[in-house]
Structure formats: structure tokens, C-alpha cells
Structure 1
């Protein structure tokens, strides 16, 4: 009868060698992941504007945080630029997915919208979004995107916006009132050609704020969008005296409580006073 010999205990030298091999492998994996993260973050930075336009009396601020999974890169984006007639254009959006393909499509959306905005008469938000949608459908990427496009006239403070399946914005007044916009909108970009995108007109009040965001700011695994929006409304209402930068930072800090794994973007417009306009 053969008896199996008990395994020979590993020597201290063998254990040390095995530990060194495992440590070396783990270090290589960490370095590879870090390189992927740095590459993704560099790509994301190149996709987003380095600065937002601003005028005396108007504060602007934007923030972006990467997804907590995948390649730490996603389809959330924001933009801001000066229009030929002196008005300002702002946009925010969210492309489905968290990979390089989503980031590339996000770049196409942003560039298309910026290019079309300078050719559309008075940069009509509904027309800009409609043409962007029709153009992206010719690319046939199979991806969808939500967005909100805003045109702000600095002389009158009139703010016009159009929405393509995107979450509502948050508004606030200097006296502490705040709420969520319930503007009529159209389908997300990339679904149906010829879609109409109604335009909503409002006025940015003295001392007021207009906050555009993506669902990564307000939604988590067990945190519904409605609750997230309500939380942002309460926060904006309680911080009426904050600058645009302070408000953007506070909103992203609060977003961490949702436990979200999606990437997130915030764009804040805060009015102080425009010269010659009461």
C-alpha cells in the first residue's frame, strides 16, 4: 500500500523567492494600470476645453471627474465658446459608454456642435442641436448622446437652451430660491433624423446661477436621479453667495455621496452684474 508523503514544508528562502515574484508581478500590473489611467486622463483633457469664456459680471466654472470603472475615461463633456455675434455658447453632454470609443464619439459631438453653432443664424439652440443630431447620424457609430446647448446674450442676460434627452438644469436666484428646469426636449442624439428640439427662453437674474450637469453627478447605484437633483437644488439654494468655482467644487463633493461609478461633469454660470444692465 502506497502512502502519499506529506508535502515538504517550504524553506524560508523559497517563501521569500515566491513573495518577491508575486510582488514584482503586482508592481508591473500597478504600473501598467497607472499608465493606462494617465493615458486616459491625458486623452480626456485634450477632449475638453482648456478654458471657458467669461465676461465682466459673469462667472463660469466647469469640473469633470472620471468614471470609477473601465479605463477611467467616458463620454461626459462640456464646452463654452464665444459666438460671432458676441453671445456666449455653452454645452454639456453625455455619451453612452466608458471607453475610448465613447470618448472619441464625445469629441465628434463637441466639435460638430461648436462648428455648427457659428454657422446657424443667431446660434439658435434648437437648430444647432437638430443639425448636430442629423450630422452624427451620418457617422453611424451606433452610440447615443444626450446634451443641452445654451446661448447667453451678455447684453440682455437672455438665456436660450435646447435639450436632447439630457437631465434638467438647476437654477437659483440671489434670494435663495432654486429649482430644476422642466423644459421640453427632444430625443437623445443619434436616434432619429429630423428630430425637433424646442427652445426655452429665460433670463439669468442678477446674482443668479444656472447649473448644467450630467447624470453621474446625481445618480448612484441606489440613488435615484430625482433625489440627486433635489440634493443639488438644496445645495445651490444654501450657497447663494458662493462663486461659480466654489459652487462647482461643492456640487462634485456632494456627488461622491451618491456612490456613483459614472463619470461626471458640472458647468456653472453665475451672474454678478453686466455693465450698463440693471
Structure 2
């Protein structure tokens, strides 16, 4: 008499688990590919070379967020403007996906393109704001744009909802830049962005950064900024190179437990006497 083997429930369960595991693996591979694509887009949109000017040193550090799918749209940029001055910008696009990364590219390119029309930082941000609004995107960006005159050492700064910069001098003074600023780019029509002027002098440094450097689960933005102030102050007194200071600042970002991109742009100067960190009258 023949026997019929009963259905093996264990084998069926294992088969289903295997199928689910394969599907999960495929989804994970897809998501990883999306993250890798976004990171590649980020790096491809950031400048490969920085401008040079006698007596000035520029340095950058960038750490993309790789926690899950938190790939955002932070950027830094530095370029020579038509009049010979140097444009400096850092910014952060709302959101953490490929769309935010693509929007970051639009903002950065827009700033560069419009800088050939007007180099005045406040007007440049206002025009960029109008441009982004005309694109009809739901995204917005915070940004700081500075124009550095290598002849006089004057820095002109305009800020659009972005975290303030940090300064330090060779004689031990340091602090957070006190400029008024305006709302983020791409939010409100007809926005004006006030300009604040500083002077960068021998041994002085200015640190532009994004909030991923100073704000996270382990530290508030105010505490993080104070840490950067301390680092910048020590670096200026010790005569530390801009590259070393940028590396120290980005390393400090790990202590805040950040889950966002982190970008740092440092400009240091070793040539013109005067006071740095003090506002300069127009």
C-alpha cells in the first residue's frame, strides 16, 4: 500500500521566508543605489577647485549624511567673480532625498550665474530667491553668501535663514558673526537681505558652516557654535592652517551626533593689518 507524504508546513514556511528575504534584499539594494546616486550627485555638483589669492587660504570639508536615506542638499562654493573679488557660499536645502540634492545644484548654479550680473551679496540673494520661486518648487534653501575683496580684506555678508558664521583673530578674540539676515530662499517674494561688512586681517579666520556641523541629538546649535568659536580662536592664536582648522571643525561634528550633511568652508588671511570681526561701515 502506497503512502502519500503530508504537506510539509515547515518547508512551505521556509520557502515563504526565502522569498520575503529576497524581496527585502532587492529593496535594500535599490535604496542603497539611490543613496549612492544622491551622494555621487552631491559630490559632482560641488566645486573641485578653490580660487586662490595672495595672502588668503581657503579650505573645505564635507561629510554627507549616510544614516538610512538621509542624503541631503548641503553645499559649499567658492569662485572668482568678474571684478576679481571672491564669492563664498554655504547652504542647506530642506529635505533629505535625491530631489533635495538636485535642488541644491540649481541653487548653487543660480548663485554663480547671477553673480555675473550683480556681486552685491544682498541683491544676489534677492535675485536667487526670485529665480527659485519662478521654478515652482516646494523646496527651499538656507544660505550665506559672502564677497571677499582680496585688496582690502573686506568681507560683505548676506544671510538667508542660515546659521551664522564664526570669526577669530590672531590676538585671541573670537565670536559668532552678528548679521541680521533674512528668510530662506524660495519662500517669500520681494524679500530683501541686509548686508553686513567685516574686515579679515592678518592671522584672522572666518568659518562658514551648515547646521549639521553644530546641531544634533547630542548638542544644541548654540552649544555647537560655541565649540566652533573655541576651535577657531585656538587655531587663530596658534597660526593653524585653514585646512587643519576645517578638518578639526568637521571632526567636531561627530560629537554632536549629527544626522544631517555637514559642510565647512574656512577662509584665512595672513597679509593685511587692521581689525577683524568688527563691522565695517559702508
- Residue in structure 1 matching 2:74, options 73, 76, 79: 76
**Match for residue 242 of structure 2?**
244
CA deviation profile, 1:119-138 (whole Å, cap 9, x unmatched): 11xx1100000111111111
CA deviation profile, 1:243-275 (whole Å, cap 9, x unmatched): 11111110011110101101111110011226x
Cα contact 1:158–1:202 (8 A) shared by 2: yes
> Structure 2: how far apart are the matches of 1:215 and 1:69?
16
Give 1:64 deviation, angstroms.
1.3
Are 1:157 and 2:150 counterparts? no
Give 1:39 deviation, angstroms.
2.0
Q: Where in structure 2 are the equivalents of 1:1-278 lying within 5 Å?
A: 32=30, 34-120=32-118, 123-240=119-236, 241-273=239-271
> Structure 1: how far apart are the matches of 2:17 and 2:133?
54
SS at the partner of 1:239? helix
Return 5+ residue gaps in structure 2 as ranges: 1-7, 275-282
> Structure 1: how far apart are the matches of 2:231 and 2:142?
24
Cα contact 1:41–1:72 (8 A) shared by 2: no
Cα contact 1:78–1:92 (8 A) shared by 2: yes
Cα contact 1:219–1:225 (8 A) shared by 2: yes
**Match for residue 277 of structure 2?**
none
Change (3 A) 1:138 1:177: same
SS at the partner of 1:71? coil
> Structure 2: how far apart are the matches of 1:151 and 1:36?
35
TM-score normalized by the length of structure 1 = 0.86
> Structure 1: how far apart are the matches of 2:24 and 2:183?
46
> Structure 1: how far apart are the matches of 2:156 and 2:207?
14
Cα contact 1:87–1:152 (8 A) shared by 2: yes
SS at the partner of 1:260? coil
Give 1:222 deviation, angstroms.
4.1
> Structure 2: how far apart are the matches of 1:210 and 1:265?
14
Give 1:71 deviation, angstroms.
3.3
TM-score normalized by the length of structure 2 = 0.85
- When the two chains are superposed, the root-mean-square deviation of aligned CA atoms in Å is 2.6
Return 5+ residue gaps in structure 1 as ranges: 1-7
Cα contact 1:208–1:271 (8 A) shared by 2: yes
> Structure 1: how far apart are the matches of 2:217 and 2:145?
28
> Structure 1: how far apart are the matches of 2:187 and 2:25?
44
> Structure 2: how far apart are the matches of 1:139 and 1:52?
29
> Structure 2: how far apart are the matches of 1:255 and 1:222?
10
